[in-house]
Structure 1
Amino acid sequence: MEILRVFNNNVVLARGTNHEEVIVTGRGLGYQAKPGSAVDQTKIVRVFVPQDGRDADNFGALVAAIPPEHLLLADEALQLARRDLPSPVSSTIVVALADHLSFAIKRMRQGIDLEYPLRAEVAHLYPDELRIALYVLDFVNSRIEQTLPEAEAVPIALHLVNAGFATGDLSLTYQMTGVFTQLFEVLEKAYDRPFDRDTVNAARFITHLRYFFVRAQSSRQLDDGASTLSKAIRESYPEAFANALKLQTVLELRLGEPLTEDEVTYLTLHVARMVEDLRVP
């Protein structure tokens, strides 16, 4: 393997044996390494393959932002549960789960407790995924000092649901790509600033939009009636909410169907996170 880009000491972008771009992780793998040099095969712990047309640089940036121990934790948990999963364990689901677990563990250490009002809906619509999620959560809690609450099984289950929606339909990928570009143009015009699409928050926004497209195609938009949460977020981020409404207009025009209040709420949160990147000197 040949190194194409070094993200940090433990994560690099490399060219695989079949000339595909892959994300390679391992302790010290990127230390003093340079583009063009060979990957130290003895240090490789995990190889992540960008899938479904994902940009390798954005995917690599997201992997690099996750602590290595959380990547390993998610990978081990999913491998143990793989017999019950409807589809093979992909790089996408491992990274998505690791990103969620890392954030959840950080919140727990800071004493921040979130409620997930979707429990009843998830239990009703996705009982198998919730059962697997509870198993995954038990495994994770057996490996960390401060355990996560049972409610965390809800977002874990939703990650498993999203993983099962993977599609090889390139026409959807092309449509999504065009819409993503248009949405960024709307935001850049609103803030009169270019948005760096290589940031972790931009990658998270794109990932959220990908999942939104799958939900919209399946007529399963988020709609749990969390009006109190929506109201709080809109009041906390009025500017982001105003611009999320602009994104809502674009998405509704392109998809031909209205967005739910919850979908707009999550758009608001992602816009607010990306705007924070603009304010970093």
Structure 2
Amino acid sequence: MKIKQILNNNAAIVIDEQEEKIAIGAGVGFGKQKNDIVISSRVEKLFVLKENEKLQQLLLRIPEEHFTISEEIITYTEKRLGTELSEHIRVQLADHISFAIEREQSGIKLKNKLLQEIKILYREEFEIGLWAIQHIKEKFQITMPADEAAFIALYIHTMKLQGGDIHETVKQTTIIQDMVQTIKKYLNIEVHEADISYERLVTHLQFALSRAKWYESHVMDNEMFEMIKKKYTYSFQCAQKVAQEIYASYQIELPEEELGYITLHIERLRTH
């Protein structure tokens, strides 16, 4: 493959099999000129240019070291999860990390309002996020808060889904947070995020939303459902309130059977 354009020391546009591609690898563009030959063994990743024009734009826009550390985070993540991540979102992750580094260098710190929910819903991704901010600290002597680890976790979770949408991931997590806030307000209680009952509730709400999206529900026989309604009246009313509010805000309808299961989780949270 021959070089057509140098993007930075570690990236170049090349002609490979009569097709323009972006070649990424240590030293791929270092000391090179147009029409120089690139040794294939140096190329770690190869992308078809017409499908990755945003990647080309990104490589020209952000500091090279920001893109490099993003790739290192992706490589670590793929090894940790044992799966290849979607290419569709690596540009967004690199862009986000570059912006986050610039923010920290400017003394601007953003709070992640979904921090507690992310820690529970995407536990392994959050642990990777913690590794990522430690890696950034070692490379750039920049200390980032756990809030940033949670932001990175959302991107990683989305990258696990082929063609996933970061906005959809954020939306679902926000809905879950709204549901939890409704429960806490209705019950007038403060909940410790490390409480196992809280974790079970949040996890169940995630699955409940997924089932509602695909018009699926837990099968609960009518006799059991009626017993739950009578025995845990207050918690069931709370579950109804949750259903009413997410329907009003997001037009998501939870079936009554699902409310029975949510009631059990609310009752456990209320009494433990």
Normalised by the length of structure 2, the TM-score is 0.52
Aligned partner (choices 104, 129, 134) of residue 108 of structure 1? 104
CA displacement at 1:120 relative to structure 2: 1.9
Deviations 1:174-216 (A, max 9, x none): xxxxxxxxxxxxxxxxxxxxxxxxxxxxxxxxxxx9544xx38
2:125 aligned with 1:134: no
Partner residue of 2:81? Answer: 85
Write the distance in 2 (CA, Å) between the matches of 1:150 and 1:259: 29
Write the distance in 2 (CA, Å) between the matches of 1:88 and 1:222: 27
Pair 1:16–1:85, CA change in 2 (3 A):
farther
Contact 1:22 1:49 (C-alpha < 8 Å) held by counterparts: yes
Equivalent residue letter for 2:80: D
Contact 1:123 1:130 (C-alpha < 8 Å) held by counterparts: yes
CA displacement at 1:161 relative to structure 2: 0.8
Partner residue of 1:64? Answer: 60
Give 4+ residue runs of structure 1 displaced > 6 Å after superposition: none
Q: CA RMSD in A?
A: 3.9
Normalised by the length of structure 1, the TM-score is 0.51
Equivalent residue letter for 1:120: Q
Write the distance in 2 (CA, Å) between the matches of 1:145 and 1:49: 31
CA displacement at 1:100 relative to structure 2: 1.8
Identity %: 24
Contact 1:11 1:23 (C-alpha < 8 Å) held by counterparts: yes
Partner residue of 2:14? Answer: 14
2:146 aligned with 1:150: yes
Partner residue of 1:29? Answer: 29
CA displacement at 1:43 relative to structure 2: 11
Contact 1:16 1:22 (C-alpha < 8 Å) held by counterparts: no
Question: 5+ residue gaps in structure 2?
Answer: 179-247, 251-272
Larger radius of gyration: 2
Contact 1:29 1:44 (C-alpha < 8 Å) held by counterparts: no
Pair 1:67–1:148, CA change in 2 (3 A):
same
**How many equivalent pairs are there?**
181
Partner residue of 1:118? Answer: 114
Write the distance in 2 (CA, Å) between the matches of 1:78 and 1:9: 19
Contact 1:50 1:91 (C-alpha < 8 Å) held by counterparts: no
Write the distance in 2 (CA, Å) between the matches of 1:222 and 1:30: 44
